[in-house]
Chains A and B, each alone.
Chain A
Amino acid sequence: MSKRRIRLFFPHDQITEPIVYLMGKHFEIVTNIRGGEISGDAGWLYLEVTGEDDEIDRALAWAAEQGVRVDPVEGDIIAG
């Protein structure tokens, strides 16, 4: 089992979608919200995801397909 810390960014048209709930329903992972904010027309949240690596990869790929941006909590790691 692995744990990953990720940041999800929800553009306006995704704010009302139950993405986190559906991730837990469709994939064998445990989601744990640790922080977040909705302001105006966008929102983000910090999520801890626990599960097998492949299953986490599939869940995050699915979230990205729904239009949610998935990043490490550190933001961009590659620097100038």
Chain B
Amino acid sequence: MGYVKGLVCKECGEAYDLTPVHVCELCFGPLEVLYDYAAIRADISREEIERGPKTVWRYRKLLPVDSAELVDIQSGCTPLLKADNLGRLLGLRNLYIKNDTVNPSFSFKDRPVTVAATMARAFGFDTIACASTGNLAASVAAHGAKAQMRCVVFIPSDLEPSKITNIAVYGPTLVAIRGNYDDVNRLCAEIADRHGWAFVNINLRPFYAEGSKTLAFEVAEQLGWRAPDTVIVPTASGAMFTRIARGFEELAEVGLMSPGVPRMGLAQAAGCAPIVTAHEANSMTIRPVKPSTIAKSLAIGNPADGHYCLKTIKQTNGLAGSVTDDEIVEGMKLLARTEGIFGETAGGVSVGVLKKMAEAHLLDPDETIVCYVTGNGLKTPEAVAPALEEPLTIAASITEFDAAFKARGEREAVPA
């Protein structure tokens, strides 16, 4: 092992040892992991990966954990589904859905968190923590339980009861903060500064972010070790978007596939689209916004990696688009009714933006497109429930059934 050289500032290039730091002391730029790619290239193969565990850890040499004991709840290796029904509707012949709704805590967050939790334990932390409106909190609490570490999770006090249950079941200390979104942010920054805890997306962010590269690794492997032509990625902080692009780059860098980063398509909710807005204005400066969208898992008004997302879009001749709350709900229904996948609101954002791009002829009908669906619909059922048909409620009578069935305009049932 020993493929990790250390950390490096993304802005000024200052080098740092492999410690739980995340901001450059010189210029306050973000830090990222620096690998010894020549060593990895000499010691990695497709066959070895294919023989590996059916989890993100089959790509261990490209993750920053070296020989650390893993905190592993079996994340990753989720299906890549050929979406023929949805593709036919949108005029896309090679459309795939990366179905990341089926991770252990039901969102893609298990990918970055398994890496962060592993490093939290390796660095000797006794407490793992985060501030979240849902998906991250559940994943951190689940990994905290598996690692048997103390876990502290901060949530806004108005979080929906179903989401609180999804977190509380793992047994963390749950702290509900009264106040607006900015108040919660500021308090958590202060707590992270003062307590020696492993905040997965603060002081462990360089390690945490690396886990999302596996969304690229898996897609490439599932396509027979090649990159798709275009990907559509739901985006909040931008960490996942930039790391998916980096993942495809890395596979080429270590010789596992031919060079070729896909056209990176970024999808946001119209009620929180600071990156899309900057892209459309041809600006590289993100203007923070106050989120107002049903896609709570994407409600990051001041995205840490927003600037780098804009760079990635430019470098890959990429795309960016946003959808309204109504279009998000339509996207969720469309995915469920064509491909049998119930994604959360962020999935509705991906599919909604995909549909818009297809209708605007921004996508080639024959290119290979992967649309990422990153969280399970059972996390946000209230978003789509009002838009669904009521069940046919009848007495236990065949006459009533036939009448109700006909009234609903359904086709005649086929006799057995």
> Is B232 part of the contact surface with A, judged by Cβ < 8 Å?
no
A40 CB to nearest chain B CB (Å): 6
> Is A62 part of the contact surface with B, judged by Cβ < 8 Å?
no
CB contact list, B111-136 vs A, under 8 A: 130-136
B287: which of A7, A42, A76 is its contact (CB, 8 Å)?
A42
A9 CB to nearest chain B CB (Å): 6
Q: Which of the candidate stretches B89-97, B256-264, B292-300 sits at the interface with the other chain?
A: B292-300
> Is A74 part of the contact surface with B, judged by Cβ < 8 Å?
yes
Given A34-B26, A80-B236, do A75 and B304 touch, yes or no (CB 8 Å)? Answer: yes
Assembly CA distance A48 to B181 (angstroms): 23
> Is B154 part of the contact surface with A, judged by Cβ < 8 Å?
yes
Quick check: B135 and A80 within 8 Å, CB to CB? yes
Q: Which of the candidate stretches B32-40, B182-190, B404-412 sits at the interface with the other chain?
A: B182-190
Quick check: A76 and B29 within 8 Å, CB to CB? no
Given A35-B28, A39-B285, A73-B28, do A80 and B303 touch, yes or no (CB 8 Å)? Answer: no
B31 CB to nearest chain A CB (Å): 11
> Is A72 part of the contact surface with B, judged by Cβ < 8 Å?
yes
Quick check: A39 and B184 within 8 Å, CB to CB? no
Assembly CA distance A21 to B170 (angstroms): 48
Quick check: B28 and A5 within 8 Å, CB to CB? yes
Closest residue of chain A to B135 (Cβ to Cβ) is A80
A78 CB to nearest chain B CB (Å): 4
Query: What 1/0 mask marks residues of chain B from 181 to 220 whose CB sits below 8 Å from any chain A CB?
Result: 1101110110011000001011001000000000000000
Assembly CA distance A43 to B287 (angstroms): 9
> Is A28 part of the contact surface with B, judged by Cβ < 8 Å?
no
Given A5-B23, A5-B28, A78-B184, do A71 and B288 touch, yes or no (CB 8 Å)? Answer: yes
Quick check: A46 and B133 within 8 Å, CB to CB? no
> In the assembled complex, which residues on chain A have CB atoms less than 8 Å from the CB atom of B202?
74, 77
Given A39-B284, A42-B287, A75-B237, do A80 and B304 touch, yes or no (CB 8 Å)? Answer: no
Quick check: B288 and A80 within 8 Å, CB to CB? no
Given A76-B300, A79-B237, do A46 and B288 touch, yes or no (CB 8 Å)? Answer: no
A24 CB to nearest chain B CB (Å): 18
A44 CB to nearest chain B CB (Å): 7
Quick check: B285 and A42 within 8 Å, CB to CB? yes
User: How large, as a class, is the contact surface on chain B?
Assistant: 35 or more
How many interface contacts (CB-CB < 8 Å) are there between A and B? 100
A50 CB to nearest chain B CB (Å): 13
Quick check: B136 and A76 within 8 Å, CB to CB? no
Quick check: A79 and B288 within 8 Å, CB to CB? no
Quick check: A79 and B136 within 8 Å, CB to CB? yes
Quick check: B299 and A80 within 8 Å, CB to CB? yes
Quick check: A80 and B298 within 8 Å, CB to CB? yes
Query: What 1/0 mask marks residues of chain A from 44 to 57 whose CB sits below 8 Å from any chain B CB?
Result: 10101000000000
Quick check: A79 and B300 within 8 Å, CB to CB? yes
Quick check: A73 and B11 within 8 Å, CB to CB? no
Quick check: B302 and A78 within 8 Å, CB to CB? no
Quick check: A80 and B301 within 8 Å, CB to CB? no
Query: What 1/0 mask marks residues of chain B from 149 to 189 whose CB sits below 8 Å from any chain A CB?
Result: 00000101000000000000000000000000110111011
Given A34-B26, A35-B29, do A77 and B287 touch, yes or no (CB 8 Å)? Answer: no
> In the assembled complex, which residues on chain B have CB atoms less than 8 Å from the CB atom of A46?
27-28
A-B contact pairs, 27 of them (CB 8 A): A34-B27, A37-B285, A40-B285, A42-B283, A42-B285, A42-B287, A44-B285, A46-B28, A71-B185, A71-B288, A72-B186, A74-B22, A74-B202, A75-B304, A76-B302, A76-B303, A77-B199, A77-B202, A78-B184, A79-B130, A79-B131, A79-B135, A79-B237, A80-B133, A80-B236, A80-B297, A80-B298
A-B pairs, 10 with minimum CB distance? A80-B297, A75-B304, A72-B189, A46-B28, A78-B131, A79-B136, A76-B300, A35-B27, A77-B188, A34-B28
A contact set with B: CB distance below 8 Å: 4-5, 7, 9, 11, 34-35, 37, 39-40, 42-44, 46, 48, 69, 71-80
B contact set with A: CB distance below 8 Å: 11, 22-23, 26-29, 109, 130-136, 154, 156, 181-182, 184-186, 188-189, 192-193, 199, 201-202, 205, 236-237, 283-285, 287-288, 296-306, 346
Given contacts A4-B193, A37-B285, A73-B28, 7 further A-B contacts (CB under 8 A): A5-B28, A72-B189, A74-B23, A75-B237, A76-B237, A77-B201, A80-B135
